[in-house]
């Protein structure tokens, strides 16, 4: 706790890296690779009914500890029976309607507690308890009031999963999914060196909420490595960490070549032999015009921002020219509208074209193959160091655990003759005497 309070969590890993730097075992401008894995929070996974029941129970338990007289003065006796035991699925009512009634009973009780907390002369300190804030936020997410009745929100009206609290016992833990894996907790991103004939050392660790996208961590990793004077020349990552903007800005701001597969062109034109996909259009950036494969010039060039916040340029050809075009079936499936294409800004567009071409070559594939080694490091962390499950509650302590674990993994990688005894069941590190 003192390490967290003093903002000193990083110190142990950084000291070890400094010692390795002095000995030439780790250096800037080499190759590094990054990947993430899911971390299970140190809590029981709860379903929606359990979340609301346990959130109210946790608030009542906290208030019973800090203000027992205040609570006893007004709390209905039936609540002792209703919230005296853990809210467990096997004790919950069966059937959709019965469960809805039960949820709304809890919702009404919670609303009554919040009203009592926000009424005079209740001490303000009670409503400032973190567990009360969790109750307040969870009730905003889960319920609404209609004609004086507390109603459970329909699933479609809930906030995104990443914004909801999934347990009052670890409000930082979030629901996440990656491909077919779903979990409640966190995500850890490990970055390590991967130069040939060098020991591979973890240079940076980021722990995030489970729902946060990998692509959002690429720049923070570069910022952190720059601060440690450990920026690589090549940073090898999977597709989740790459986009056109990052390819450009990594090189421009950090001198880092970001190596990872970019999304292929998935338009029907790109998948149809002979059809006119975007690569067959000539873009004239100076004159802000595009020439199509039939030699026609575009009529409109409109900068915009797409649904994901990316700057794009919407290009539109002439309706009359496209209508008369004999190659129209190869170009557009629109019934009457002309061909439209969407471009990224010049630097990003050109970078995407270059990478799409490069990633078809054997040389690029050989470089990219080095990324796979990070899976072994993550596996070692999970099997030998208990990385998969958080030992603590909360993002700050989970982050500290990951920093200490990474330091220990570096120590094992760096220490000549040091061997780890793998004990997956207990996640213990055993060093030979």
Instruction: State the Cα–Cα distance between residues 404 and 136, nearest whole angstrom.
Output: 34
**Is residue 148 packed enough to be buried (19+ CB in 10 Å), middle (13-18) or exposed (0-12)?**
exposed
Output 282 or 369, the one with its CB closest to ligand SF4: 282
Which H or E run includes 350?
A: helix 346-358
Of 37-45, 186-194, 289-297, 344-352, the segment contacting ligand SF4 by CB under 6 A is 289-297
**330-349 mask for ligand SF4 (x: CB under 6 A)?**
-xx-----xx----------
Residues in Cβ contact with 320 at an 8 Å cutoff, skipping those fewer than 6 apart: none
Out of 105, 212, 294, 350, the only residue in the binding site for ligand SF4 (CB under 6 A) is 294
- Binding footprint of ligand SF4, residue count (CB under 6 A): 15
Output 331 or 355, the one with its CB closest to ligand SF4: 331
Output 339 or 371, the one with its CB closest to ligand SF4: 339
Instruction: State yes or no: residue 269 binds ligand SF4 (CB under 6 A).
Output: no
Of 108-116, 178-186, 299-307, 324-332, the segment contacting ligand SF4 by CB under 6 A is 324-332
- DSSP label at residue 287: T
Output 237 or 325, the one with its CB closest to ligand SF4: 325
Contact 371, 412 (CB under 8 A): no
Min separation Cβ 265 and ligand SF4, Å: 16
Min separation Cβ 331 and ligand SF4, Å: 3
Output 47 or 267, the one with its CB closest to ligand SF4: 267
Output 298 or 405, the one with its CB closest to ligand SF4: 298
Instruction: State yes or no: residue 292 binds ligand SF4 (CB under 6 A).
Output: yes
Residues in Cβ contact with 374 at an 8 Å cutoff, skipping those fewer than 6 apart: 33, 34, 35, 190, 192, 194
Output 198 or 327, the one with its CB closest to ligand SF4: 327
Instruction: State yes or no: residue 328 binds ligand SF4 (CB under 6 A).
Output: yes
Min separation Cβ 298 and ligand SF4, Å: 8
Total residue count of the chain as it appears in this document = 433
User: How many CB atoms within 10 Å of residue 279?
Assistant: 12
Of 150-158, 235-243, 315-323, 417-425, the segment contacting ligand SF4 by CB under 6 A is 315-323
Instruction: State yes or no: residue 355 binds ligand SF4 (CB under 6 A).
Output: no
Out of 41, 325, 343, 395, the only residue in the binding site for ligand SF4 (CB under 6 A) is 325
Out of 105, 251, 296, 380, the only residue in the binding site for ligand SF4 (CB under 6 A) is 296
Instruction: State the Cα–Cα distance between residues 311 and 348, nearest whole angstrom.
Output: 10
Give how far the C-alpha of residue 206 lies from the chain's centroid of Cα atoms, to the nearest Å.
11
The structure tokens 């250096």 sit at 27
Output 112 or 296, the one with its CB closest to ligand SF4: 296
Of 165-173, 301-309, 326-334, 352-360, the segment contacting ligand SF4 by CB under 6 A is 326-334
Of 9-17, 292-300, 347-355, 424-432, the segment contacting ligand SF4 by CB under 6 A is 292-300
User: How many CB atoms within 10 Å of residue 104?
Assistant: 16
Min separation Cβ 349 and ligand SF4, Å: 18
Of 8-16, 119-127, 314-322, 366-374, the segment contacting ligand SF4 by CB under 6 A is 314-322
Instruction: State yes or no: residue 237 binds ligand SF4 (CB under 6 A).
Output: no
Instruction: State the Cα–Cα distance between residues 148 and 136, nearest whole angstrom.
Output: 18
Instruction: State yes or no: residue 397 binds ligand SF4 (CB under 6 A).
Output: no
DSSP assignment of 40-68 equals E-SS----HHHHHHHHHHHHHHHHHHH-H
Distances (CA, A) of 16 to 2, 139, 228, 410: 20, 46, 12, 8
Output 219 or 277, the one with its CB closest to ligand SF4: 277
Instruction: State the Cα–Cα distance between residues 200 and 25, nearest whole angstrom.
Output: 9
Instruction: State the Cα–Cα distance between residues 119 and 114, nearest whole angstrom.
Output: 9
Instruction: State yes or no: residue 322 binds ligand SF4 (CB under 6 A).
Output: yes
Of 29-37, 325-333, 366-374, 376-384, the segment contacting ligand SF4 by CB under 6 A is 325-333
Min separation Cβ 53 and ligand SF4, Å: 60
Phi, psi (deg, nearest 5) at residue 431: -100, 145
Q: Which residues bind ligand SF4 (CB under 6 A)?
A: 276, 292-294, 296, 317, 321-322, 325, 327-328, 331-332, 338-339
């Amino acid at each position: 706790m003192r390490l967290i309070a003093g903002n000193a969590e990083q110190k142990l890993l950084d000291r070890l890296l400094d010692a390795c730097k002095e000995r030439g075992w780790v250096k800037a401008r080499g190759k590094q690779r990054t990947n993430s894995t899911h971390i299970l929070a140190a809590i029981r996974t709860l379903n929606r009914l359990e979340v609301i029941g346990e959130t109210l129970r946790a608030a009542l338990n906290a208030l019973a500890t800090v203000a027992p007289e205040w609570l006893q003065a007004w709390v209905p006796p039936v609540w002792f029976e209703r919230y005296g035991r853990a809210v467990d699925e096997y004790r919950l009512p069966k059937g959709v309607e019965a469960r809805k009634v039960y949820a709304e009973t809890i919702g009404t009780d919670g609303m009554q507690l919040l009203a009592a907390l926000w009424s005079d002369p209740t001490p303000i300190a009670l409503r400032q308890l973190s567990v009360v804030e969790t109750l307040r936020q969870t009730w905003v997410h889960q319920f609404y009031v209609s004609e004086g009745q507390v109603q459970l929100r329909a699933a479609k009206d809930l906030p995104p999963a990443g914004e909801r609290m999934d347990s009052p016992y670890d409000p930082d833990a979030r629901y996440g999914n990656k491909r077919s894996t779903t979990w409640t907790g966190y995500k850890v991103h490990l970055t390590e060196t991967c130069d040939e004939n060098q020991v591979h050392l973890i240079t940076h660790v980021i722990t995030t909420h489970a729902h946060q996208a990998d692509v959002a961590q690429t720049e923070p990793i570069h910022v952190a490595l720059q601060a440690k004077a450990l920026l690589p020349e090549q940073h090898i990552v999977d597709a989740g960490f790459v986009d056109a903007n990052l390819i450009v800005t990594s090189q421009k701001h950090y001198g880092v070549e970001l190596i990872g597969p970019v999304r292929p062109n998935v338009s029907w034109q790109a998948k149809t032999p002979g059809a006119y996909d975007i690569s067959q259009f000539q873009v004239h950036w100076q004159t802000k015009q595009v020439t199509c494969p039939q030699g026609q010039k575009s009529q409109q060039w409109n900068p915009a921002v797409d649904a994901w916040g990316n700057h794009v340029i919407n290009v539109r050809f002439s309706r009359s020219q496209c209508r008369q075009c004999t190659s129209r079936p190869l170009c557009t499936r629109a019934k009457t509208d002309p061909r439209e294409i969407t471009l990224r800004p010049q630097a990003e567009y050109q970078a995407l074209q270059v990478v799409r071409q490069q990633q078809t070559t054997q040389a690029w594939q050989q470089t990219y193959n080095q990324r796979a080694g990070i899976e072994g490091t993550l596996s070692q962390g999970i099997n030998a160091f208990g990385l998969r499950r958080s030992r603590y509650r909360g993002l700050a302590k989970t982050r500290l655990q990951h920093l200490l674990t990474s330091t220990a993994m570096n120590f094992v990688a760096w220490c000549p003759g040091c061997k780890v005894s793998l004990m997956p069941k207990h996640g213990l590190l055993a060093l030979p005497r």
